[in-house]
Structure 1
Amino acid sequence: MRKVIEVSTKKQLASFIDFPHDLYANDVNYVPELFIAQRDLLTPGKHPFYEHSQIQLFLAYENDQIVGRIAAINNTNHNKVYGGKDGFFGFFDCINDQEIAALLFSAAEKWLLEKGLTKVLGPTNFSTNETCGLLIEGFDGPPVAMMPYNAAYYLTLLEQIGFTKHVDLRAYRYTTGNYNDRSVGLIDKIEERLKRNDITIRKINMKNFNSEREALREVYNKAWDKNLGFVPMTDKEFDYTANDLKLILDPDFCVMAEQNGQIIGFALAIPDINQILRKIKRGRLFPTGLIKLLTGKKKIDGIRILLLGVVDGYRKMGIEACLYGHIIKSFAAKNMKYAEASWTLDHNELINKPIEDIGGKLYRKYRILEKAI
């Protein structure tokens, strides 16, 4: 017997979080999410997303065994910004079974329709400000920090249900000694030119983190306002994310461009914490996971270049290249083995070209899909 139920209890929520661990038990590239972080993310009242929007979680069963999961997401802030009736899906995981996938999406779409929504896009967990995209190219290794992972058959499941491409996202990779030294070397000359306009590049000041966070929040919401599907973070959402990232932040990998004391752009890279998380069984910090986390941080030898943005009016001046150059310089100085720059929109040449010029190699693609309901 096959059925789909709404998640309504703490026990069911724990099962929802744990299902991917069983689904990917034999996949060497799978990285479990931390249970406590996923629990807070999916519990109304714990994450500020719920102050303006709603989600509903669903589990699919075959007899007594869980065989799939999905979240239906009503992001009301998104529809306020774009004036549409878009719904979203996220946290989708499923066995390779077309009927189970169809049952999950039927339940999710019914819930979205009841909210007055007419289209569904995804995967997004909860929005493009969090983990998003379906891996469609590059299944040959584990994901890096805060990037999704899924089996190759997911795309077929979604296309058979009627989903089509909305937009593709890119991930680039640098490896030790395999980037363009000449391009990085030009950064000093570009910086000298920028200084004539009173634009300087500096690292984040961790002793003044709260003030820096506020300035970065303003830049983030301005610099990404033209990105497809971007919704500005509320103050609480940005602070929630920033405080989480602070736990693993290396100030050498958070650099800012400012003019006369006003921040006009920034780039952020984070340690690839997935090197440790993939060793933490079922995402549990206890009894041994916390020790692995604390002792393994200093051994991380890869980074993810997570964010780069410059506010309108300061683009095409070389600031983007300078910010990336500083990240790559720190990458080399710390003897890191690899860096991933992700994600960028497939058509965003303003960002993609500087990445490629410095030597980034396109090695993975992700897709956000859409379907009318």
Structure 2
Amino acid sequence: MRELVKVSGKKALAAFVDFPHELYAGDVNYVPELFIAQRDLLTPGKHPFYEHSEIQLFLLYDEGKIVGRIAAINNNNHNKVYESKDGFFGFFDCINDATVAKELFEAAQDWLKQKGLTKVLGPVNFSTNEVCGLLIEGFDGPPVAMMPYNAKYYLPLLEQIGFQKNVDLRAYRYTAGNYSERSVKLLDRIEERLMRNDIILRKINMKKFKEECNAVREVYNKAWDKNLGFVPMTDKEFDYTANDLKLILDPEFCILAEQHGKIVGFALAIPDINQILIKIKRGRLFPTGLIKLLANKKKIDGIRILLLGVVDGYRKMGIEACLYGRIIKHFKAKNMKYAEASWTLDHNDLINKPIEDIGGKLYRKYRILEKAI
């Protein structure tokens, strides 16, 4: 007998966070999320998202055992920006059973309908500023930091209940010694040309982290203004994310493009912390997870190029290519084994072409799906 439950209270929330551990038990590519981080993300009052929007979590039980979970998300800021009535689903996981998926989505859709929303998109965990997308190609390894992972059966399952493609997202991979040295060397000439226009590239100043973040936030909110579903982060949301990333940040991989003291572009790559998280059972830092995290942090040999943006008026000058080039140079100097550039929009040639020119190979695809409700 099945029972659908609205998540309420610490015990139910813990069960919601832990369900994927049971679902993917035995899957060598599954990486558990840190329990503390997921708990805070899903707790109103802990994350600044809840200052303007709301979610409802659902668990589906069958004979007392959890068989699926989903979050219905009403992102008011998104709908204000786009003058739309879009709802989102996120944190979706379930067994390979179309009736289970259908029950979960009916519950989510009913909740979204009550909010006056007419369409549902996802998977999106709050917004495209957070983890989003359904893995549809490239199941041959674990995800890198802050990228999603799911079973192959998810796409046909969602299509079976009426979801269609909205847009695809790309992930590119560089491997040590397998990227274009010629293209990287050419970037030195482009950088010299930029300098003649008083545009310089430099690493972030960690001693002025707060001030640097304030400047980068303005670029971030301007540079992504035309991307799929992008919603500018509030100051509190940006600071929340920046403080989390600061814990693992390597300044050599946070590059700023600056003209006359004004930041006009930036790129950020982060260590692939998933190399460690994959070994931390059920995402618990205590009693041994924290030791693993601290002991292995310096052994990480991969990065994810997480963000790259240039404000309007400075695009097509070569800044994008130079930002990537700087990161690849540091990648080589630190003897890293691989780098992933993700994610980019499938049709964004302005970003995709420089990645491919330097030697990035398209190796994974993710999809945002949609359905009228």
TM-score by structure 2 length? 1.00
Q: Identify unmatched segments of 5+ residues in structure 2.
A: none
Aligned to 1:121: 121
1:85 aligns with 2:85: yes
Q: What amino acid maps onto 1:199 in structure 2?
A: I
3-state secondary structure, aligned to 2:328 = helix
Where do residues 250-261 of structure 1 align in structure 2 (5 Å cutoff)?
250-261=250-261
CA deviations on 1:127-175 (whole Å, 9 max, x unpaired) are 1000000000000000000000000000011001100000000000000
Aligned to 2:218: 218
1:172 aligns with 2:175: no
Aligned to 2:325: 325
Where do residues 143-158 of structure 1 align in structure 2 (5 Å cutoff)?
143-158=143-158
Q: Identify unmatched segments of 5+ residues in structure 1.
A: none
1:307 aligns with 2:312: no
Mapped to 1, the partners of 2:303 and 2:191 lie a distance apart of 24
3-state secondary structure, aligned to 1:186 = helix
- State the shift of 1:126 in Å: 1.0
Mapped to 2, the partners of 1:334 and 1:198 lie a distance apart of 29
**Equivalent pairs, count:** 373
1:296 aligns with 2:323: no
Where do residues 31-46 of structure 1 align in structure 2 (5 Å cutoff)?
31-46=31-46
3-state secondary structure, aligned to 2:366 = strand
Aligned to 1:26: 26
CA deviations on 1:16-51 (whole Å, 9 max, x unpaired) are 000000000110000000000000000000000000
1:73 aligns with 2:73: yes
1:230 aligns with 2:230: yes
Mapped to 1, the partners of 2:127 and 2:295 lie a distance apart of 32
3-state secondary structure, aligned to 1:125 = coil
Aligned to 1:267: 267
3-state secondary structure, aligned to 2:147 = coil
Aligned to 2:133: 133
CA deviations on 1:79-118 (whole Å, 9 max, x unpaired) are 0000000000000000000100000000000000000000
Q: What amino acid maps onto 1:2 in structure 2?
A: R
3-state secondary structure, aligned to 1:28 = coil
Mapped to 2, the partners of 1:97 and 1:62 lie a distance apart of 12
RMSD: 0.4
3-state secondary structure, aligned to 2:146 = coil
Q: What amino acid maps onto 1:56 in structure 2?
A: Q
Mapped to 1, the partners of 2:188 and 2:144 lie a distance apart of 30
Aligned to 2:16: 16
Percent same amino acid at aligned positions? 83
Mapped to 1, the partners of 2:158 and 2:127 lie a distance apart of 19
- State the shift of 1:9 in Å: 1.4
CA deviations on 1:307-334 (whole Å, 9 max, x unpaired) are 0000000000000000000000000000
- State the shift of 1:3 in Å: 2.1
TM-score by structure 1 length? 1.00
Runs of 4+ residues over 4 Å off in structure 1: none
CA deviations on 1:252-291 (whole Å, 9 max, x unpaired) are 0000100001000000000000000000000000000000
1:362 aligns with 2:362: yes
1:279 aligns with 2:317: no
Q: What amino acid maps onto 2:254 in structure 1?
A: C
1:339 aligns with 2:339: yes
Q: What amino acid maps onto 1:328 in structure 2?
A: I
1:196 aligns with 2:202: no
Aligned to 1:51: 51
3-state secondary structure, aligned to 1:132 = coil
